[in-house]
Amino acid sequence: MPTLLSPEEIATQAGSEASPNRLPSPRVFAGRAERLRSLAPGHAMADFLAFAARLAEAQQTLLDRRGPTTPPDEAQLRRCRQHGMPPLDAHGAALPADWMAVLHDLATTVVPHAPTGLKNAIAALPDFPEERLAALARAILRGDENLSNPVELALAPLIGASLQVLWTAAALGLATTDIPTGFEGGQCPACGAPPVASIVRIGDAGHGVRYVTCSLCACEWHVTRIKCVPCQNTRGIAYQALEGASGPAHRAVRAETCPDCQASLKIVSMETDPAVDAFADDLATLSLDMLVDEAGFQRAGRNLFLFLP
């Protein structure tokens, strides 16, 4: 008799031919801005999503101007591949010398469209201590930010956006073969940052293959479906979705929850909506985070446009 496969085994076999890593598109921020604009009309957070679209457009302009960054030397890349280390280490690496210029360029571009709190923070930016800004940037990269000052809290998404430009430019300077393979964990193999969400792709990436999207450099790495990204558990994985008055809301977005580590990470599906963007659709479904939080699961995704007091 033929052997029946479990859902976990089916998912493992389905992803066996997937490319292990994907570099970001050179137009990643433009695509994100377009998706945010399409999600904004009629949304309860329409103003926020519209501003996020403006910010993503400004990021694209700066990325186009910057171009791909020169990669680390071959010896460093070889060591990273051998030891499974991210070549664009976001945790311990020094900030690029011109990172503050990128921050100020973003601020100048978006200030006409910014909410009041951010406008006030941008007005104070020239007098803000540079060493404190650098400390904030490093804390955001490490994921250990503890922001209570209103100006710091308002500036954090702008700082996060500037860091995304810098690390995405660095990722575009890599080849996929420069990135360690064989890892399906919860940290980006290119830069070591946490994910924002995962995405089920179609087309040249392989139909129905899941990749996890980095919150910082926008690289993607393959993780088998029906598997918890943070802890790798494959048993008891469940999915939560939003329901509207007339049926499912945001049908392309679900929260994948794990009973072992009590983590939740969103999964967005191009099979359901080819226009999805992991970062944009995460922003548009914060109500789903509240739903799974009430059920006892902790959000594992990280979105650098979201900072809460």
Residue 9: what pLDDT?
44
The residue among 177, 199, 225 that closes a domain is 177
Pair 63, 165 in one domain? yes
Pair 164, 197 in one domain? no
Q: What is the mean pLDDT of the chain?
A: 90
Domain extent, residue 230, equals 11-19+182-299
Count of C-beta atoms within a 10 Å radius of residue 259: 14
Does 150 reside within a domain? yes
Does 3 reside within a domain? no
**Could you give the dihedral angle defined by the CA atoms of residues 82, 84, 89 and 93, in that order, rounded to the nearest 10 degrees?**
-50
Residue 219's domain is classified under what CATH number?
A: 3.90.1670.10
Pair 204, 240 in one domain? yes
Place of tokens 């940037």: 137
The residue among 177, 208, 227 that closes a domain is 177
Number of domains in the chain: 2
Pair 170, 199 in one domain? no
- Local structure of residue 16 (DSSP, 8 states): T
Pair 201, 294 in one domain? yes
Does 119 reside within a domain? yes
253 pLDDT exceeds 90? yes
Distances (CA, A) of 106 to 136, 155, 156, 205, 234: 16, 11, 13, 32, 41
pLDDT band at 145 (very low <50, low <70, confident <90, very high): low
Cβ proximity of 210 and 216 under 8 Å: no
Residue 60: what pLDDT?
98
Q: Say what the pTM is.
A: 0.91
**Phi (first) and psi of residue 244, to 5 degrees:** -100, 180
Pair 34, 148 in one domain? yes
10 pLDDT exceeds 50? no
Question: How many angstroms separate the CA atoms of 254 and 143, rounded?
Answer: 24
pLDDT tens per residue, range 93-144 = 889 999 999 999 999 999 999 999 899 999 999 999 999 999 999 989 988 7
**Could you give the dihedral angle defined by the CA atoms of residues 269, 274, 279 and 285, in that order, rounded to the nearest 10 degrees?**
-60
